[in-house]
Each structure stands twice: as structure tokens, then as C-alpha cells.
Copies of this chain bind each other. A is one copy, B any other.
């Protein structure tokens, strides 16, 4: 049997688009001689559809898509993900299902049993776990179909009590198929391959695995669909960050030695972010980005990624110097803009901030320069950038990094503005590595932007290190707390100073209110700020030195 795996960039709720992509792919798969074409989890709706699933109208539209797809299934079998309705009065209203379609109609529907409900996943919010397990007989082969998480309850620490593949295995299948929606983080491709190889080793069956590709706001899907033969040899690892369609003859998978060079962490993050920016714009029907260029490394890296995602003609860099800006702020930013070939302007904020300070003189009289005055500058920049965005249809890209976002080193309604946060899941130390990666062949980002000490330049001679620990120490503490979920005791035991650890954790926890109001963050780590990290605002945990 010839099986086609279709790795497609869907768009949530855009049924017209998703249908036409599926129809085209079915036709292409037929041309390529496929007997069966396999699409990803919840392909018809896009993933994750979130609370759209609570609308009967949305579910009806999913089913209409399935009906139409059935109309294209003459001469080819189709497996595709879509919600299905639970007919039982008990339990949640929906299943997350794989629909097997052939000969112009739906042949069977198979429900996901293990519903991830951690980090960015909310599947138990919508779906009833499947408890019925049946294989598919097709063209003389018995197919065991599972959906994403269904294969993940393997190894030592089991999150679920059941294992759907164990049940299916009892029916002696010939082939395993898994349709997935497995979002990217920079360690995920390895973890995913490892889990799939464990399944093959356990059941000694070939495995066809198909994933989503493309970005849905903050969630990035890297593709990397896999075919593994019964011996545990990788036969194909499909494209990363790109659509792909490949056909495999199940009889010709006896010896495989596919190998692909393993990209480094910075290359992965770079490609993920470029895709994330590009899809945010194309899926919203937008094209042009505006970025405040400070001359520093965060805005420089953001501008490079935006230029690579959208093209130089669609990126506009604006320098907004104040009285506290050093000369190199503007010159470094201009050098970057010239290297990228993007439109740029210099718009000083001094007259704006002076006027605001004048307006507030009756109230501020007798007080000394402080946070309020610093923030007026950051907010004046935000105001001017948004005015340009509104006037000329740009989307402002946010340039904050994860270290700043973590400790609240940024001004709400100022430099924390933007439609999308590009670097909000990249620690400052990794932003430096990203700049080096970008500059690997030629100097795109001016060397001076990389080597000068980071500064917000909101008061004379200010340095980040005046108020924050050095980034190489700060980022290690943050990583332990955020990604590894270590508590203060464990982090101190790693050798960090107790006072420093307490201070950093307190900063993270008391700045939840700021992060609540910031743009969606392109997720590249296993724990990004946003939907995958849910913290109370009004709380008092690790928020005082006690």
C-alpha cells in the first residue's frame, strides 16, 4: 500500500482555505499513486480551535468540510482530523477524532483517548476521552490509528492510566498511523522522535506520523513528519518549517537509513521565529511591520527576523532618541537599517516628553526625576510608534526579550507594546547567540550593538546591570525557575546566592500583572509566557523575603 503524508499549514476557522488545501492535496496524492492520504489532527478546523469548539455552528462547519472531503475520496482513502459529536448524554459533547473516509463516504471515526491538558494544551476542556479502540481494514492491511498524545503515555512517569495503542495492538495491526498537532520548542523534535521510536520498539510495527506545520499566533508547528519502519529505522523525516507531501510504499520500508543533519538550537529558533512572524501577518491579511530601533541588540535581532519573514520593503525601522540616548544609539540603528535595506526614520521624542512634563508641572512640581519620568519616555515612544502604525497600516512588533519580561524590566504601554512579541521567549543570553548566528557570514547586525553593555537609556549613564544581575547569572536562575519549575531551595542548592535567588523569584512573581497585558509571545521553549504558563496576579508566593 502506498501512504501519502500531508504536512500542511492550516488556518484556524478558515474552512474555505483548509478545504481547498485538502482537496488539492488529495488530487496531488492520487497523481503520486497513493492509496491512502493522511492529514493531521483537527486539520479541518486548524489547531488549536480553542473555544470556537463550543459553538454548534463551528462544529457544523467542520462536518460540512468532512462531507465535502468525502466527495473527493473516490479512488483514495483519506484519514483526517476533525471534532465529532459524542452521542451519549454522559460526558463532554465532543471527541477529538480521526475520520477514515473512502469510496465517497465516512467509513469510521476514531476518538483520541489521551487528552493533553498541560502547558499550552486545553483538550480536556472540550473533549471526552475515547474508550473504544478499533483498527481499520484497508487494502489488505490492518491500520492502528491514534491521535498525537495517544502514543505519549510510554516510559517511566505515566501521566495517564490507560494506553490506547496497547488496546489496538490486541487486534494485530500491520501499521501504526499517528495524526498529530505537536507544537515546536527547540527540544521538541528530539523528544518527539524519541517517543515515536519507543513506540516502534515496543510494538515492532512501522509508524507513519504526520504533524502540522505553520504558526497559529504564538504556537509554532515545525512539521518534521516521520516514517519509521518496524525495525526502528527512520525512513523519512519530512521538511521542517515548510509544507511537505510524500508518498511511501509500505512494502519498501524494510531497510531505511534516512539521515538529516541536526540543526543547532539557534538555527531552529531562528527558523521558527521567521515562520511565526510570517504566518502572523499572512493569516491576518497584513503585510507591513514597524519596529522601534534603539541601537540595541533586541530590536536589531527583531528587525532582522522581520526582514527575513516579510521582505525588506515591508519593514520600517524608527529611531526615537531622547536626551539620554547616546550617539551610538542612532548610528548603530541606522547602520542596521542600511544593512537590511529597510525604510527608516529618526523621530526624536524630546519635544514630546518635554511637553508632557510641562503639562504635568502643576502636579509634579517639587518631585525629583524617577520612574515616572523614565516611563514617560518609553510611553512617548510607544505612542509615536502606534500613531505611525495606525496611520500607515503597520503592525508594531514588540522587541522585549524573555529575561526582561520575566523580571518586569520594561514599561507597560511603552516598550512592551506590539501586536506580537518576537523575542519574548528568548533569554537575553540567547539573543546574543542569535545575533552571532545572524552575523555568521557577514555583519548584518553592527558589532557595536552586540558588544555594548545593554541599557534602556532612560536616565544618564543607565545600564541594565544597575538594576538587574548580570544576564548570564539571571538567565540561569530564570531558566531553572520557569522552564524547570525548580523552587528557591533547589536553585540555591545549585550554587546561587540566596538573596539573589529570592530577589529574582520575587521579581518574576510580582510582575505577573505586566505580562498579563503583553502581546502573544512566539513560543520556542518548553515554557513560554502566555497561554502555557498560568499564574495568579493577586497572590503572595515567593513575593517577600520571608
Contacts and interface: CB of A to CB of B under 8 A. Distances in A.
A157 B89 CA distance: 6
Interface string A364-376: 1001001110011
Contacts of A125: 117-118, 534
Contacts of A280: 538
A356 B89 contact: no
Given A535-B51, A538-B12, A540-B283, A347 B372 contact: no
A118 B490 CA distance: 34
Contacts of A56: 487
A37 B152 CA distance: 43
A48 B125 CA distance: 17
Interface string A187-207: 000000000000000000000
Interface in A248-301: 279-280, 283-284
Given A49-B536, A160-B91, A539-B52, A413 B386 contact: yes
Interface stretch (A164-172, A231-239, A443-451, A510-518): A510-518
A533 interface: yes
A465 B488 CA distance: 54
A92 interface: yes
A210 to B, nearest CB: 22
Interface in A492-546: 513, 516-520, 531, 533-543, 546
Contacts of A52: 535-536, 539, 541
Contacts of A71: none
A14 interface: yes
B536 A57 contact: no
Contacts of A513: 419
A321 to B, nearest CB: 12
A160 B91 CA distance: 5
A358 interface: yes
Contact of A518 (B216, B371, B392, B517): B517
Contacts of A362: 345, 347
A388 B359 contact: no
A528 to B, nearest CB: 13
Interface stretch (A302-310, A323-331, A377-385, A453-461): A377-385
A531 to B, nearest CB: 7
Contacts of A386: 375, 379, 412-413
A17 interface: yes
Given A50-B536, A52-B536, A363-B347, A387 B358 contact: no
A500 to B, nearest CB: 17
Nearest to A282: B538
A311 to B, nearest CB: 19
A345 B392 CA distance: 35
Shortest Cβ-Cβ A-B pairs, 5 listed: A57-B487, A13-B541, A372-B391, A14-B540, A372-B390
Given A283-B539, A351-B355, 18 more contacts: A17-B540, A54-B485, A117-B117, A118-B125, A122-B122, A216-B536, A216-B539, A217-B537, A347-B360, A347-B362, A356-B383, A360-B384, A360-B387, A363-B392, A371-B390, A375-B386, A379-B382, A386-B412
